[in-house]
Amino acid sequence: MSDPTPVEPFEMTVRVDPADIDALGHVNNIVYLRWVQDVAKAHWFAAAPPEDQTGLVWMVVRHEIDYLAAAGPGDELVLRTWIGAAAGLRFDRHTEVLRAGGRKVLAKATTVWVPIDPATGRPKRVSDRVRKMFSVAG
């Protein structure tokens, strides 16, 4: 079997729901964080081997997000994510929220994830395969 290579960036679309809108008439900041987590999870399940999916879950230990422009009711958005560097048990992941029409970047996020053993709830070292698939040289 050949050495695994880092996974490609991943995209999914979402439509802004009325419940996503805050008192200012645009998407609430916490919704962007939910989307960051949703697209990361979808990427993991789309790319990770099944045996790794059952033996590993990911927990966020840090979010950093820049809000660049507002999304509003009914907007169709693209959530785009890709992997970053890993150091020990900390794996960086990058995400952009873009308006589907024109692909204007509305928000950018960097999130640090830690792999967790679902049976114990404790941090868990990943296999070399997972490390090579879900991180790039830093």
The pLDDT value recorded for residue 3 is 75
Count CB neighbours of 130 within 10 A: 20
Q: For residue 5, what pLDDT is reported?
A: 92
pTM of the model: 0.94
How far apart, in whole angstroms, are the C-alpha atoms of residue 95 and residue 65? 9
Residue 56's pLDDT is what? 96
Domain boundaries, the chain: 10-133
pLDDT of residue 4: 85
Rounded to a whole number of angstroms, the distance between the first and last alpha carbons of the chain is: 25
Of the candidates 43, 124, 135, the one whose C-alpha atom is nearest the C-alpha of residue 92 is 135
CA pair distance 126, 83, nearest whole angstrom: 15
pLDDT higher than 80, residue 138: no
Task: Quote the tokens at residue 83.
Answer: 């992997």
Question: Where residue 2 falls among pLDDT bands split at 50, 70, 90?
Answer: low
Q: Apex CA 105: angle with CA 108 and CA 109, to 5°?
A: 5
The CATH H-level (homologous superfamily) assignment of domain 10-133 is Hotdog Thioesterase (3.10.129.10)
Which residues contact residue 49 at a Cβ distance below 8 angstroms, ignoring those fewer than 6 apart?
Answer: 129
Identify the band that residue 63 occupies on the pLDDT scale cut at 50, 70 and 90: very high
Cβ 65 vs Cβ 32: under 8 Å: yes
Cβ proximity of 115 and 60 under 8 Å: no
